[in-house]
Amino acid sequence: MTLDRPQPTEGKRALAVRRSGWLLAILLSLVSASGASCPQVLQQYTQPIPRALPTGAPLSQVIDVVNNNSARVQSLSASRATITTPGVPALNADIALQRPRSFRLVARTFIGPEFDLGSNNELLWFWVKRAQPPALYFCRHDQFSASAARQIVPVEPEWLVEAFGLVTLNPADHIEGPFPVGNGRVEVRSKSTAPGKGGSRITIIDASRGVVLEEHLYDAQGVRLASAVLSKHIRDPASEATLPRHVEIQWPPAKFELTVDMPDLHINQLTADPRELFTKPVKDGYPDMDLAQPIGPLPPTAVGPTAVLPTPLQNHY
């Protein structure tokens, strides 16, 4: 399937976004690789997982199995995670999330934190240590769709939670499937019926175990905004939820890809106080900058994106 790239938005806000491209370039220089291709199917189970769906299961049963699995999970955490891409050294990371949209990923090298990406019920934020001029960027969720943040993080913050296997299929949406797509997998296509939600998504599900293997998000024009490929699933005996330990994420409009491995994934066992964990941090020497507000011209010392941007992702399967 061939996917067109998003067309640039004109106007002052778009100009501001282009001027702030250096920030994304710095982030990409830490965690992205060149010559990336679309995610490949990885069906690797680290231990036997019981069958959850009969052969030829109807859509209603597929929805129930996927939703029931996600409903067993309220939070995830991993303190020994790694984030990698081909050709770039791995970074150690702490990852935590709590439904519906609280998320935190702090990546570090041996000398300390390099970037911080987070979300809570009110806002989204990210911080890059090497940004010049230094700043901690944030945006309120109710202003996200019209902000510069949308050009850097092209998906709703809730999808950061779904990308780790906590997918919920809304029966009120327009849903089609399941369609067999080979290798023991089925495809479910859904489109939100909520006002202002014109996009769609494709969810690839194991036809036997009922676990989510892939999810791809598209805008109203059919341009792919994000993809997640999930593998190395393990069934947690306490919650009886089956979740991945290996996650591959792509944001094609931002030319961004990231692979996350979580060998120590803990389900429903947050050790830190969520009120502190999912609170926007304060970084000495890095003033807050609201991405919902116009961004002025950057000084001549700002890092140019062309110096470190990777080769664009191939936008086709």
Side chain identity at residue 131, one-letter code = A
Q: What is the pLDDT of residues 113-151, one digit of tens each?
A: 888 889 998 988 888 888 778 888 888 888 776 666 666
Distances (CA, A) of 70 to 57, 64, 104, 113, 240: 19, 10, 19, 31, 10
Distances (CA, A) of 177 to 51, 146, 174: 20, 33, 10
Q: What is the pLDDT of residues 53-110, one digit of tens each?
A: 999 999 999 999 999 999 999 999 998 999 887 666 788 999 999 988 899 999 888 8
Q: Which residues, listed in sequence order, are joined to residue 83 by a DSSP beta bridge?
A: 91, 260
- Computed from CA positions of residues 228, 230, 236, 239, in that sequence, does the dihedral angle turn out positive or negative? positive
Q: What is the pLDDT of residues 203-227, one digit of tens each?
A: 999 999 999 999 999 988 888 989 9
